[in-house]
Amino acid sequence: MKICIRNGRVIDPASQLDIDQNVYIANGIIVAIADDLDDFTADLDIDAHNKIVCPGLVDLSARLREPGQEHTATIDSETRAAAAGGITTLAVPPDTDPVIDNPTVVELIEDRAKKAGRTMVLTIGALTQKLNGELLAEMAALKAVGCVGISNGIAEIKNTVIWRRALEYAATLDLTVFINPADPWLQKQGCVHEGNVSARLGLAGIPESAETIAVSRHLILIEQTGVRAHFHNISTGKAVKMIREAQDRGLPVTADVSAHHLHLCEHDLGNYDSFSHVMPPLRSVRDREQLKQGVRDGTIQAVASHHQPLDADAKLGPFAQTQPGISALETLLPLTLKLVEDEEITLQQALASLTCQPAAILGIDAGQLTTGGNADICIIDADVQYDCRPDNFISAGKNSPLAGWLFQHQVSHTLFHGKLVYQR
């Protein structure tokens, strides 16, 4: 199958490329980015006039609910949604059921993902067995079957000795540890950011110290063990500052933020809008601004979806009794590029935080457009006006607080390994 993407604005953040050219694809590989290519007869021509042609997105964290909660969503349903969101690579956290703490589960997920054939699904293995926070998982075995890192997901590890040993062991295996920083006691106490909205609505609050205490403890252990670490889903300005200082000291730490935390804040809870119920909670306006600053100055390298599809019942109830989580695969790109529309960051920065930078964190060869490389490509219509309609999401999860938001960027085509997996 030969494809030619014609007349697009080709942007490759990894190589700082930004040029109006054609992209020629054959056998799943990019064969040329050029004005013209002799002897190339395309089976399929895609007109990308007035569109952006960039690498397929790399998402550091998306929950697909399979195995374990197939009634909510499946690898098949969610990779369809990922393709619609321009995502060609995504990493799943280990908190499936069963947990990704042994090679069988990794193989099962890879197998299902291959069958679906729309997105590269990578696994992040468990740090402790069954994520119980007590016994180390067989990390070497997990690494051998292709886990791109290890993590304890959102499950807690209370004992600092276990944390220390786990980080030391991961360092030995040269594995990146993905951390969702949260002090279990302070976090469990509440369901929203502790601040004036929690005071007003009478909801139990989670103080910012739930995050900063955890980040601080982890930074000390990272320094001590020398492990390569990545912080998932940072939500507070203070944590951004602490990570920036650690990076300045030369610690091998990176961080990501969810696209929704860059746009929403505690006030979006309105009158107990359960769709805004998410963990970590939406913080203050000030935190949100500091998160944007973190993306702007490179402290935060990646914007991730932190996709959590939920069924309708999970969000029906009094706020604190609803399940936290946002279905976010299909809003990752338009939300991140909204920061460009708002002149918060440049287009290059935005695309880098969605492609080559998360790929670098995962240590994989993806997220860029190179001759001879896989044709994982996202084509974006850059000047459309449309309302976000969660009910029309392809994802099985329609749980998004962004209904009615006006977006300007929309994925028009997604190519995975040279195959057209999504077309609007």
Beta-strand runs (E) in 127-200: 149-151, 176-179, 192-193
The torsion defined by the Cα of 420, 59, 314 and 105, in degrees rounded to 10, comes to 90
Angle, alpha carbons 268-270-273 (nearest 5°) = 90
Residues in region 263-292 near other proteins by CB under 8 A: 270-273
Nearer to other proteins, 254 or 290 (CB): 290
Which DSSP symbol is given to 373? S
- Is residue 317 a contact point for other proteins (CB under 8 A)? yes
Backbone angles phi, psi at 193, to 5 degrees: -60, 135
CB of 214 to other proteins, least distance (A): 19
> Measured between alpha carbons, how far is 234 from 286 in angstroms, rounded to an integer?
14
> Measured between alpha carbons, how far is 402 from 393 in angstroms, rounded to an integer?
12
CB of 196 to other proteins, least distance (A): 4
Residues in region 163-202 near other proteins by CB under 8 A: 194-196, 198-202
**Which residue from 313, 365, 383, 387 is in contact with other proteins, where contact means CB under 8 A?**
313
- Stretches 14-22, 150-158, 204-212, 387-395: which one binds other proteins (CB under 8 A)? 204-212
CB of 101 to other proteins, least distance (A): 30
Which DSSP symbol is given to 222? H
Q: H or E element: which one contains 7?
A: strand 2-12
Interface size with other proteins, residues (CB under 8 A): 23
**Which residue from 100, 137, 203, 310 is in contact with other proteins, where contact means CB under 8 A?**
203
Nearer to other proteins, 268 or 381 (CB): 268
CB of 391 to other proteins, least distance (A): 13
Query: What track of x and - describes contact with other proteins for positions 380 through 419 (by CB under 8 A)?
Result: ----------------------------------------
Q: H or E element: which one contains 88?
A: strand 87-92
HSE-CB for 204 with a 13 A CA cutoff: 10
CB of 264 to other proteins, least distance (A): 16
Alpha-carbon distance values, 91 to 44, 78, 330 (Å):
30, 12, 16
**Which residue from 285, 316, 384, 406 is in contact with other proteins, where contact means CB under 8 A?**
316
Q: Which residues bind other proteins (CB under 8 A)?
A: 194-196, 198-205, 207, 270-273, 313, 316-321
